[in-house]
Structure formats: C-alpha cells, structure tokens
C-alpha cells in the first residue's frame, strides 16, 4: 500500500461569495515523517499587452484576488500511523472575486495574454512529496441568477408606418434570449417576435454577436508612446485590443426564414469564432481589475419600405467551461472508508456540518 494524497471539493464550479467545502484524503501505507496537512488557495489575474510603437513595448499587470498561503488544516506531534484519513475544510470566496478567464489573441496593433485562474493545493507537512492540486472554476454571477437563468429581459421597439396624413399603423418587435447564462462553446438561443399590423413586409434580417474587450493597465512609461486604440485615464492606460466592438459572428437571412414575417424561435448563435482556420470557443464574460469582456447582440430587421430597425440585446453572461477534470475524477476505494480528522484550524469543519448537504457529495460523508 502506497502513500497517497487526494484533494476534492464538493463542486467543480462556484460563484463569488460562496463557500468552498472540500476534503484532503491521505493514505499512509509505508513509514513516513508526515505529521500534518496544509492547504493553499490562490486566485490570480495576469494581463499583458505587447505592441510596437517607437520600438517594442510591453505592459504587464498582476492582481492577487485571494491568497490563502499554506494554512495549517491539521497537525499532530507524532507522524501519521498506517491508515486512511480525511481532513475536511471550508472557506469563503471573496464577493468581488472575478470569474475564471483566459484569452490569448492578436491583431495588427498588438498581442495580448489574459488569465484569471484559481488553484487549490494541499500537501502533507513533513513529507513534501505528498502533494495534490485542483483547479476551481468561478462563474462571475450569483446563485440566484444562475437558478433563474431562463428567459432574460426582452428588448422591444415599435416602428410606426404612416398610411395617410393623420393615420398610421405599427410594427412591434420583441427579442430576447432563452437563457441568460450560456457556457462558451455552446449556442445562444434567440427568440424574435414581430407583430405587424401593416402591409410592409420583412425582407431580411441580420444578427451580429459583438464583443467589447478592454484592458486597464498601469504603466506610466507609455506616455508619448500610445497607439490610437489606447487612452490614458489618470494612472491607467485603457486599451481596446480589438479596437471598437469586434464582430465575433454574423448571420444574415431572407424573409423566408422569418416564419411568415412573425419572427423566429430558438435561433442558434454559436459562442465560437474562427481563428487561424479553426473554430475556437469565445472568451468568457468577465469584469476584473485589469480586464473587461462582455457581449451584445445586434438584431436588425429589413423591411420592404427600405427601412432597417435594429435592437441591441445584452448577453448577461458567457460562462467559462465547466471543470471537466473535477467531473472525471475516479476516486480510489480507500477514500470511502477514511478516518475523519478535525482540528481547531479556522479552515477545519465543525463536526455537525459533516452530515449535511454541504459535504454530501464528498466520499466518506453522508447526510443524516
């Protein structure tokens, strides 16, 4: 029997302000000097922008959003005896923790690398080779919004069509997303309803998925070395790496696709884009210290009287990919029969919580 250590949280994805419940599993099958368990949790935002202006220039910023560094979860005077142990833990995420994010790209004006990631780490004190780590995915929204994600707020407008000098009829347009929060790589679903009291016909439509990507970097050495996509605001350089709103995806269609001028339902808009001949997932939505990324749909209808009506529909959230490594974890049999070890550490767990739903998804714990 080998010495092993595993790290497991109750979920793969969390929201800011939520509590992360988890456990460290330790098997001692051969003599060891390990006598305790420590955990670390770090969330770091890193952004850089490289461009060419009077010689190559690079701006880099970093922000640590959460840092629990080698906190003692459990410790004893003597080394662990042969056996299997589990050390439950819990801690709270900051309310202002930004979502997990990664975006690497380039344009004619420069290149950028942005990463916001969260990693949990555990090791056996006294036997540093016994280590385990796990990525934690953060959704930048709240649990209630995720639970009520279906049918977002509608955008609507009315087009007045004159018939005679003092008479007119209207065309009413309503559009909405069927799901406010969609994982990158999946599809947005759009509903469009056209209520037409006139003889004017819909002749076509256009839908654009727009991205507003911005960097906010602190580097006063850029003064006098700015491109036209940069602006100094106090001590920050605001950068629009893709310049104005970037068209990620565009779809056009004719009147035959608008369901007899009544609109359409569940129109699929992929959260992917073509880069270097490949289809890749778009970067998630995020609002952080040094980076902001959001999406919007521009929905336009063309009419037989040569009028075009456009509505702007915000996309509340493009979520990062789920934590697939977490969902694919295949635990060893011994973790289900591990002996629970608690301590006075602020990250340890009161005994009464171990038999609640908070720990029900973790091996060795059962709801009473």
- Which pLDDT does position 263 carry in this prediction? 76
Cα 260 from Cα 274, distance rounded (Å): 32
- Ranking 13-27, 163-177, 275-289 by mean pLDDT, the lowest is 163-177
C-alpha closest to that of 158 among 168, 171, 167, 169: 171
Beta strands 127-138 and 13-14 are parallel
Q: Is the pLDDT of residue 7 over 60?
A: yes
120-159 pLDDT tens trace = 999 999 998 999 999 999 999 988 888 887 777 788 898 8
Q: Is the pLDDT of residue 290 over 90?
A: yes
C-alpha closest to that of 143 among 270, 16, 297: 16
- The band of 339, judged by pLDDT with boundaries at 50, 70 and 90, is very high
Domains located in the chain, CATH noted: 4-139+321-359 (2.60.40.640), 145-319 (2.60.40.640)
- Which pLDDT does position 256 carry in this prediction? 64
Q: How far apart are the first and last CA of the chain?
A: 32
- The band of 261, judged by pLDDT with boundaries at 50, 70 and 90, is low
**Residue 140: helix, strand or coil by DSSP?**
coil
Residue pair 50/58 in contact by the 8 Å Cβ criterion: yes
Considering only residues 286 and 231, tell me which one the structure prediction assigns the higher pLDDT: 286
- The band of 361, judged by pLDDT with boundaries at 50, 70 and 90, is confident
Q: Is the pLDDT of residue 252 over 60?
A: yes
DSSP annotation of 156 reads E
What stretches of the chain show up as alpha helix (H) in DSSP?
A: 143-147, 324-327
**pTM, entire model:** 0.91
Average model confidence (pLDDT) for the chain? 91
Considering only residues 277 and 98, tell me which one the structure prediction assigns the higher pLDDT: 98
176-218 pLDDT tens trace = 999 999 999 999 999 999 998 888 888 889 999 999 999 999 8
- Which pLDDT does position 367 carry in this prediction? 62
Cα 272 from Cα 249, distance rounded (Å): 8
- Ranking 82-96, 107-121, 224-238 by mean pLDDT, the lowest is 224-238
Cα 138 from Cα 99, distance rounded (Å): 5
Cα 54 from Cα 201, distance rounded (Å): 55
User: Which string of DSSP letters, residue by residue, matches 192-256?
Assistant: EEEEE-SS--EEEEEEEEEEEEEEEE--GGGTT---TTEEEETTEEEE-TT-S-EEEEEEEEEGG
Q: Is the pLDDT of residue 346 over 90?
A: yes
- Which pLDDT does position 40 carry in this prediction? 98
C-alpha closest to that of 214 among 305, 360, 114: 114
Beta strands 202-217 and 291-303 are antiparallel
- Which pLDDT does position 169 carry in this prediction? 85
C-alpha closest to that of 64 among 39, 98, 91: 98
Kindly tell me the number of DSSP H helices and DSSP E strands found in the chain. Answer: 2, 25
- Ranking 133-142, 188-197, 224-233, 337-346 by mean pLDDT, the lowest is 224-233
β partners of residue 37 = 74, 124
- Token pair for 349: 């767990």
Average pLDDT over residues 18-23: 97
- Which pLDDT does position 163 carry in this prediction? 65
Residue pair 29/1 in contact by the 8 Å Cβ criterion: yes
DSSP annotation of 363 reads T
Cα 193 from Cα 107, distance rounded (Å): 37
Q: Which residue do the tokens 């008479």 mark?
A: 167
Tally the residues of the chain: 368
- Which pLDDT does position 336 carry in this prediction? 94
């Amino acid at each position: 029997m080998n010495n092993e250590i595993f790290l497991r949280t109750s979920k793969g994805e969390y929201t800011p302000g939520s509590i992360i419940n988890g456990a460290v599993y330790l098997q001692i099958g051969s003599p060891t000097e390990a006598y305790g368990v420590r955990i670390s949790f770090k969330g770091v935002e890193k952004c850089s922008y490289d461009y060419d202006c009077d010689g190559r220039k690079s701006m880099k910023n970093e922000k640590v959003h959460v840092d629990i560094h080698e906190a003692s979860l459990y410790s004893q005077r003597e080394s662990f005896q042969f056996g299997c142990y589990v050390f439950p833990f819990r801690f709270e995420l900051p309310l202002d923790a930004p979502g997990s994010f990664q975006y690497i790209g380039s344009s004619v004006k420069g290149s950028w690398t942005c990463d916001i990631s969260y990693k949990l780490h555990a090791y056996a004190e006294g036997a540093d080779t016994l280590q385990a780590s796990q990525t934690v995915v953060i959704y930048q929204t709240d649990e209630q919004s995720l639970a009520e994600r279906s049918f977002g707020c509608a955008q609507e407008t009315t087009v007045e069509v004159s018939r005679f000098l003092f008479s007119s009829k209207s065309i009413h347009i309503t559009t909405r997303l069927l799901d406010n929060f969609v994982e990158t790589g999946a599809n947005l679903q759009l509903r469009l309803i056209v209520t037409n009291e006139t003889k004017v016909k819909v002749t076509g439509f256009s839908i654009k998925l727009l991205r507003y990507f911005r960097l906010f970097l602190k580097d006063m050495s850029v003064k006098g070395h700015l491109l036209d996509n940069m602006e100094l605001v106090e001590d920050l350089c605001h950068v629009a790496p893709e310049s104005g709103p970037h068209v990620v995806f565009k779809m056009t269609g004719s009147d035959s696709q608008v369901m007899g001028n009544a609109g359409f339902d569940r129109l699929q808009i992929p959260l992917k884009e073509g880069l270097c001949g490949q289809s890749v997932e778009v970067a998630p939505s995020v609002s952080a210290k040094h980076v902001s990324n959001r999406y919007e749909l521009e929905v336009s209808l063309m009419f037989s009287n040569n009028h075009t009506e456009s509505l702007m529909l915000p996309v509340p959230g493009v979520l990062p990919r789920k934590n697939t490594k977490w969902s694919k974890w295949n635990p060893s049999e011994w973790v289900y029969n591990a002996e629970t070890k608690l301590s006075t550490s602020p990250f340890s767990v009161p005994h009464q919580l171990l038999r609640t739903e908070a720990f029900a998804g973790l091996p060795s714990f059962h709801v009473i």
